[in-house]
Chains A and B, each alone.
Chain A
Amino acid sequence: MSTRTALHRDLGLSDDEYEAIVTRLGREPSYTELAMFSVMWSEHCSYKSSRLHLRRLPTTGPQVLVGPGEGAGVVALAPGVAVAWKIESHNHPSFVEPVNGAATGVGGIVRDVLSMGARPIALLDSLRFGPLEGAARNRYLLEGVVAGISSYGNSIGVPTVGGETSFDPCYEGNILVNVACLGVLEGPPMHARAERPGDVAVLIGAATGRDGIGGASVLASVSFAGGDDAKRPAVQVGDPFAEKLLIEACLELVRGGLLHGLQDLGAGGLTCPASEMTAGSGTGIAVDVDAVHRREPNMEPFEVMISESQERMLAIADEARVAEVLELCDRWGLPARVVGRITAQPRVVVHADDAIVADVPAPALADDAPLYDRPRRRPGWLDELAAAPCGDDPPAELAEAWLALLTSPEHACKRWIWEQYDHMIFLGTVQGPGADAAVIRLPGRDVAAVLSTDGPGRYCYLDPRAGAIAAVAEAARNVACTGARPLAVTNCLNLGSPEDEEVMWQFAEVVDGIAQACTALGTPVTGGNVSFYNATGDRAIHPTPVIGMLGVLDDARHAVGAAFSAPGDAIAVLGDTRAGDFGGSDFAATIHGTLAGRPPEVDLAAEARLASLLHRLAAQRVLTCAHDCSGGGLAVALAECALRSGLGFSVDLAAATAVAEPHRAAFSETPGRVVATCAQDALPDLLRAARAAGVPARAAGVVGGPVMDIGAARLELGAVRDAWEAALPSLLSDTVS
């Protein structure tokens, strides 16, 4: 027992969990079995700390065709048009090895969407790093992550159309790399099931090697302790060429009706689909590890069963048609081998060298992982933090503060990042990176999917529930600004260690906040991912729920942009401004270096009214521009419309906000606000429509000229634009344009 005990701890299992395995098996596990349990019972694969709470999320609605539990959620976009939508994290691998960590993050989410029988057509990345002005490693990580996304996403031919990049010291030791993928279904959804005993399991794709052993367990399911470069072998290495072939081959297999089930191999390797597909269907599987095509000789059976080598899918097919499956894969130049057979006995039995090396009930691996109701404690420091000065003192010089915000890495032009991504392939990118939300016209149709990601970490640090509500509201508002109707949410919940009672409290609050906001806005959660252990030693990241909002725009030609459109257009501000929304604000962080107070409160009913007003105004072609007002307040939102268009503006901020103090009118971050423009003669209509919809609206000024003028401060647009565009490249190693 003593060596075994040491072994299970090395594999990331607790003593209690080891005892639970012994109980379920009625005996000590074999080495291979222990390895299989260690990955399937890892936090990353089993959601053992989060499942109890995730049940509180709303997951149903008429638009939801497939909810959480499959490879990706499936949402009806229009009659006969369905899309798959899912987000996932690859935080730990990307910190240890940024290029391959980020690249395989893209690969993994693409296969999730592919497993639904959907063609992946858009990617978004939600990234968090430590301050670029700080340690060189922060810059190295950003450059590596961008290079990884670029090399992989471009090569597989899926456009990267949006996302966000944000900076805070809390991410210095634990960066976040969350990748969302949208796919369009060509027929009914595929599923990850193996319902018919006698069917065969075909492993399609790259050969299995020793890379990524323990990626789910020793890497993704523990906090960092420093010196984590030693974990580099647990990071997988991606081959985008193989992934591209895998996409085409799998879509052709699905289209040809050759498959009964399909699942990708990600965390947990072959063990994951072998147990999940069967456990979900009441069947079992006999796996022959000797049949698995391998990258290197002398691999142990346990290595084959838990290797996280990339670019692999497990397909379930009728034995009578398996020759067609193999032939099709061969035509695409993809290795494919029959590695197992579905059995009526609900067990996962692994054969190697004519011996049985593992024989365990499929549900014990997939469904019966321990379920923890971990202790939670509201942090004592929260009240003190809420009562502390929130950083709303006026700046020495308003124009300087405004410029400082616009050229901070947070708001600086991100072109350096997104120009490295193919964001145009598939001819659907009506609005791409740099917009509030990506507008992706579906192939051969007028209808567009509209996508946005948001995750305000600082708000969530001050109040996880209020912050999560703000995240959902902002993502919905971004989508609504294009004229689209928000439909459904995928979420990636990034937090510290669930074994920390305060983190666990934050997690429960975040879930409740999302549940409340998604219910109010009618946007059910169709799936997502929980990433715990984003901590180094005792230092955890801010709770960072990243919300991926999916909306629908019936006609892509009616999409409203976030840049000013024409000189002379009238500017209106929709939504009321409160003078004191500075807790967790960009102004407080950038100008005063302060993070304290209360985050802004969201009025969800008002958000819903605002969204339907925007939808109506866009359909009537009244709006010439609509831009969400969030981080940095109204002054930053107005400047962004100008910087993206090259058109200045003149606005009476006091009239637009009914707030007297200039810096409060400029930088307060009251949610529920949008900068909207229209032709001058349409302004009365716009204001009337807003009044009728119960949305406060105020005429604010006019578009045009070479200056950005908010009354109390003026900036010359050309000079600011140069500084805004240069800010990010000048912080990075290479400034060659």
Chain B
Amino acid sequence: MSVRAAIVSFPGSNCEQDCERVLRGLGAEVVRVWHDATDLGGCDLVVLPGGFAHGDYLRPGAIARFSPVMQAVADHAASGGLVAGICNGFQVLCEAGLLPGALRRNAGLRFICRWVEVRVDNADTALTARAGPGQVLRLPINHFEGNYHVDASTLEAMRRRGRVTLRYVDNPNGSLDAIAGICNDAGNVFGLMPHPERACDPLLGSGDGALLFGSLLDAARGRVAV
């Protein structure tokens, strides 16, 4: 049985088509959900793609968190459903309070589109299970606000509980602790700044992104089986 993935788009999202192509290629059934929807159509996995939701006006994610669909996303997460926010989607999840911390402007105060290496910090999560512990993945980043920040005590708790999923090998944006990806305390809501959908085809530079999407689909399938 194929996993049903909902891709949530806001006005100004722009990576929804790429995510859809990749998820379909990996065998998922994809439904597109517009930001004004109030339910997610019974999906197993919710993906918030990259882009500039509501133009990133005010600050990234600040307006998107008020879109009607975010209540449904929160409900899905509260019931243990899988949620993954990529880049702008990560920013939205932080603004919505579904993930701790915030993403500030890059330390260099410039937009960066670049291939980077990230190391899997915890391979025992729904996002990283197909990768080995400490495995280095080649993924692209594409953001102006990817500089992860969180208060010291939360960071300490996140570290202790293995809630940091991915860390930059060579920190490109000033992120605290070189954090590239995290998950919530319950381990079902994920945020990451790199774009795995852009790294699912060796012709484009890497196939490592398929490990992350594949892990998410495995986990969703596990839930489907239950």
Contact = CB atoms under 8 A, between A and B. Distances in A.
Interface stretch (A80-88, A422-430, A667-675): A422-430
A50 interface: no
Q: Which of B14, B107, B198 has the most CB of A within 10 A?
A: B14
A247 to B, nearest CB: 10
Interface stretch (B48-56, B76-84, B95-103): B48-56
B111 A241 contact: no
Given A155-B52, A241-B52, A241-B54, A425 B14 contact: yes
Contact of A737 (B11, B108, B195): B108
B12 interface: yes
Given A150-B111, A155-B56, A427 B201 contact: yes
Given A150-B111, A734-B108, A557 B203 contact: yes
Contacts of B112: 419-420
Interface string B87-119: 000000000000000000001111111100000
Contacts, number: 86
A692 to B, nearest CB: 31
A423 B197 CA distance: 14
B142 interface: yes
A333 B9 CA distance: 13
Interface residues of A, number: 33
Q: Give chain A's interface secondary structure class.
A: loop
Given A155-B12, A736-B107, A423 B113 contact: yes
Most buried by B among A151, A157, A426, A443: A157
Interface in A153-167: 154-157
B57 interface: yes
Contacts of B204: 424, 427, 429-430
B161 interface: no
A244 to B, nearest CB: 6
A625 interface: no
A352 interface: no
Contacts of A617: none
Nearest to B52: A155
Nearest to A156: B14
Nearest to A334: B11
A488 to B, nearest CB: 25
Nearest to B34: A331
B14 A420 contact: no
A427 B21 contact: yes
Given A155-B56, A427-B198, A427-B204, A420 B12 contact: no
B146 interface: no
B55 A240 contact: yes
A576 B17 CA distance: 47
Interface residues of B, number: 30
B131 interface: no
B114 to A, nearest CB: 5
Contacts of B114: 419
Contacts of A156: 14
B174 to A, nearest CB: 9
Given A427-B21, A429-B204, A557-B203, A420 B111 contact: yes
Contacts of A734: 108-110
A151 to B, nearest CB: 8
A329 to B, nearest CB: 12
Given A155-B55, A422-B142, A427-B198, A245 B113 contact: no
Contacts of A429: 204
Interface string A430-443: 10000000000101
B18 A425 contact: yes
A332 interface: yes
Contacts of B195: 424
Contacts of B113: 154, 418-424
B12 A241 contact: yes
Nearest to B35: A333
B43 interface: no
Contacts of A443: 17, 21
Contact of A244 (B14, B108, B198): B14
Contacts of B198: 424-425, 427
B8 interface: no
Contacts of B142: 154, 422, 424-425
Nearest to A420: B111
A239 interface: yes
A336 interface: no
Given A156-B14, A157-B15, A426-B18, 18 more contacts: A155-B12, A155-B55, A157-B51, A239-B55, A241-B52, A245-B11, A332-B11, A333-B11, A424-B140, A425-B14, A425-B18, A426-B17, A427-B201, A427-B204, A430-B204, A736-B108, A736-B109, A737-B108
26 contacts: A155-B12, A155-B55, A155-B56, A157-B14, A157-B15, A240-B55, A241-B12, A241-B52, A244-B11, A244-B14, A332-B11, A333-B11, A419-B112, A419-B114, A421-B113, A425-B142, A426-B17, A426-B18, A427-B18, A427-B21, A427-B198, A429-B204, A444-B21, A556-B203, A557-B203, A734-B109
